[in-house]
Amino acid sequence: MTTTVPEPSAELLQRAAQVRQAAMALGRCSDHERRQAVLAMAAGLESQRRQILEANRLDLEAAAADGLAPALVARLRLDDAKLTAAIEGVRQVAVLEDPIGRRQFHSELDQGLVLERITVPLGVLGVIFEARPDAVMQIASLAIRSGNGALLKGGREATRSCTAITAALAHGLEGTAVSPAALALLTSREDSMALLRLEGLVDLIIPRGSNELVRFIKDNTRLPVLGHADGLCHLYVDQEVNIPQAVAITLDAKTQYPAACNAIETLLVHRQVAGAFLKAAIPALEAAGVECRGDAEACALGVTMAAAEADWSLEYSDLILAVKVVDSLEDALDHIARYGSRHTEAICTTNQTTADRFLASVDSAGVYHNCSTRFADGFRYGFGAEVGISTQTLPPRGPVGLEGLITYRYRLRGDGHIAADYASGQRQFLHRSLPL
């Protein structure tokens, strides 16, 4: 992307200020009030189900006419079952434990001088995402439950769907303690880019989309950014393995939803089991429509298409899988370290020592043993939903739910205490821990 980031318009500044004002009031709402607001949002979505599905149908028709990429069409599609699951996710967020007002640290610095650290909302989230209209429901519910306002910008291809969903959420919030103004949908490309310049009004930018989009955002804002640019996930099949189990895991990790960022893109297979494993896995993958691209050894064992060097670095988001035969666990670890995106990696092995070494050695947000990478998801983790997946080293990391949308504040209560008394030695610190 070479687009220049524009200055915010007067209208955008006004809308952002309204969201921030509503967010400040939201942050003072009680746990019960925020919980009821999220349940009301789910009810609003349910009551306007027909309008949402119709809007999505129109978006899909326009996407077909525009020749939208299959991976984006898959993310754009919002059928009845997917909408039902998304609404259930909103309800699940409502019943999660309140992340606000928790005391994380409590100490008596001196007699009558007590310090505590309390969790508080971040403030206002700026979320930019491509295609996926269900992201509006996930992000909005997590934002309100955690006491945050949100400025949301979906992709042009999902404008009708996002507008209908946002209207349903606002309808649900009417009559609750939470103002509908805490959520705002941006629809123009200019506003989505200008969002990156809203210092003082937005506290965190969350991009959900292509590598190009995420990198552009990280390069063009001074605001903190939470997200991942790549979802290049690996599955390593060890020499000691239950082959039928490993085949099932491979199929699920690649084919259950290939457009997802937690689908595997590369399959690494130990040489000692490669012949037997690929003999079982390749027909199953091909029957599911997967195009396998292998190194020389994988091709000798049945993979029909040769992989190029670029294949080890590609996030296909499609029914394409790169396959490589490796000599050892160390070779698999080296490959993942070189090509991985620190998203999610998995090992299939019956050897617990090998599994433990893999889990301890791979520096990714998620590292799995004998299960599909497709579990890297906020809903499946029990977070109700997620605002995105973070591959950064600093927290939050992995699927980001409520815990990733809070910060903390130090509160110190005294009775006329002054620092000079401690500097002179007249008074001494106690630093005595108190119960949380």
For the chain, domains (ranges, CATH) are 10-226+387-408 (3.40.605.10), 233-375 (3.40.309.10)
Contact predicate 137/87, CB 8 Å: yes
Look at residue 388 and tell me whether its pLDDT is greater than 90. no
| Cα(163)–Cα(55) distance, integer angstroms | 8
pLDDT at residue 229, as a whole number? 67
* Region for 240 from its dihedrals, namely left if φ exceeds 0, alpha if ψ lies in -120 to 50, beta otherwise: beta
> Residue 99: CB partners within 8 Å, gap ≥ 6?
119, 145, 146, 402, 403, 405, 406
pTM value is: 0.85
Instruction: Give me the chain's average pLDDT, please.
Output: 94
| pLDDT tens, residue by residue, 402-424 | 999 999 999 999 999 999 999 99
Q: Residue 284: which pLDDT band, with cuts at 50, 70 and 90?
A: very high
| pLDDT tens, residue by residue, 41-93 | 999 999 999 999 999 999 999 999 999 988 789 889 999 999 999 999 899 99
| Cα(377)–Cα(234) distance, integer angstroms | 16
| Residues 308, 311, 317, 318, CA torsion sign | positive
Burial of 309 (0-12, 13-18, 19+ CB in 10 A): exposed
Q: Residue 1: which pLDDT band, with cuts at 50, 70 and 90?
A: very low
pLDDT at residue 3, as a whole number? 64
Could you say which DSSP state residue 7 is in? P
Look at residue 230 and tell me whether its pLDDT is greater than 80. no
Contact predicate 367/271, CB 8 Å: no
Look at residue 253 and tell me whether its pLDDT is greater than 70. yes
